[in-house]
Amino acid sequence: MVTDVGRLTRSEQLRHLYPKDLPMPSPVTRRVVAVASALALGVVGTLAATPAFATPASDYVVSQSWQAKEGGRIAVTVTFARDIDAPSVEQGWYGSGTVFTKVYYRTKSVLVPFRFSDTRTPFLVPINVDATAPTAPTWVQTYSERDGGRAVLTVTFSEPVTLTEPSQGWNGSGTVFSKVYYREGVTATVNYKDAVGNPGSSSFIVGSIVAPVL
C-alpha cells in the first residue's frame, strides 16, 4: 500500500525513502523528507511553495480513469519524463520505464515515493485519487408555451460531467443540461460520468404541464 509519510518517525521516513543501497542523505535532503511529512499532515502550503522538495511539473503527469472491475475502481497512472528505478516503486504499483499504474478503491490523497534511474534521486508525487461519483444533481421544471405547452427540465450538476447513453435528447454541456417533455408523469433519467469516469444516474418525474397562474 502507499505509505502515509506523515505517520512515520523521522528515522522511519529516511529508511522509507532511502533504501540501504543509497548513501545517507544530506541535510538538504533530510529537509525534503521533513517537508514531505508536513505536507502529508497538511501543515505546509502547496507543493509549489516548497522548491527544495518539488519535482518540476514537467517531470511527470498523473492521470486517472474509472474501471468497472470489482464494483468500480480508479486506475492511477503516472507518466514520467525519464525512466524510474523500478525496485524503488511502492507496493501495488506496476509498470516499467516511464509509466507506472496502481489501482485505488476510494477517494484519498497520498504522497508516493519514486526514484529516477539516472540520478537515483528519490522524490514524492502527490496524488489526489477521485473515486467519488458526482453528487445528485438539482432538477427544475419550467413551463414553455411553445408547441401548445410543454415542460422544460433543467438539471444542474455540482461539477462538469458528460452524459452517457441512454440520455438522448438532452442539450447542454459542463454542469447544466435541459430537455423538453410533452407529457406529465414521464420519468426523466440522466446517466453521467465525471472527468475521471466515475458514473452516476438520476431520475425525475415530470409534473403537471400547465401554464403558471399570473
Q: Which of 53-67, 119-133, 178-192 has the lowest mean pLDDT?
A: 53-67
pLDDT digits (tens, 9 = 90+) for 93-125: 999 999 999 999 999 999 998 888 988 888 889
Average pLDDT over residues 57-86: 92
Check if the beta carbon of residue 207 is closer than 8 Å to that of residue 141: yes
pLDDT, residue 195, reads: 95
Average pLDDT over residues 152-167: 92
99 with 142, same domain: the answer is no
52 with 152, same domain: the answer is no
Cell of residue 118, nine digits: 539516472
**pLDDT confidence bin for 5, thresholds 50/70/90:** very low
Q: Which of 31-40, 128-137, 147-156, 203-212 has the lowest mean pLDDT?
A: 31-40
| Residue 14 predicted with pLDDT over 50 | no
29 with 103, same domain: the answer is yes
Q: Which of 1-5, 107-111, 128-132, 165-169 has the lowest mean pLDDT?
A: 1-5
77 with 153, same domain: the answer is no
Cell 517531470, located at residue: 59
Cell of residue 189, nine digits: 433519467
Q: What is the DSSP string of 118-158?
A: TT--EEEEEEEE---PPPPPEEEEEEE-GGG-EEEEEEE-S
Domain that holds residue 143: 138-205
114: DSSP letter = E
Q: What are phi and psi of 149, to 5 degrees?
A: 110, 125
Residue type present at position 208: S
36 with 91, same domain: the answer is yes
pLDDT, residue 55, reads: 63
125 with 28, same domain: the answer is yes
| Residue 156 predicted with pLDDT over 90 | yes
Cell 528519490, located at residue: 122
84 with 169, same domain: the answer is no
* Three-class SS state of 30: helix
Q: Has residue 213 been placed in a domain?
A: no
Domain final residue pick, 92, 112, 129: 129
**pLDDT confidence bin for 182, thresholds 50/70/90:** very high
Q: Has residue 65 been placed in a domain?
A: yes
Average pLDDT over residues 152-158: 96
CA-nearest of 106, 102, 103 to 130 is 106
CB neighbours (10 Å) of residue 37? Answer: 22
**pLDDT confidence bin for 12, thresholds 50/70/90:** low
Check if the beta carbon of residue 111 is closer than 8 Å to that of residue 36: yes
185: DSSP letter = T
Whether the upstream peptide bond of residue 166 has omega within 30° of 0, thus cis, is yes
Q: Has residue 166 been placed in a domain?
A: yes
Q: 177 forms bridges with which residues in the sheet?
A: 155, 172
Cell 397562474, located at residue: 213
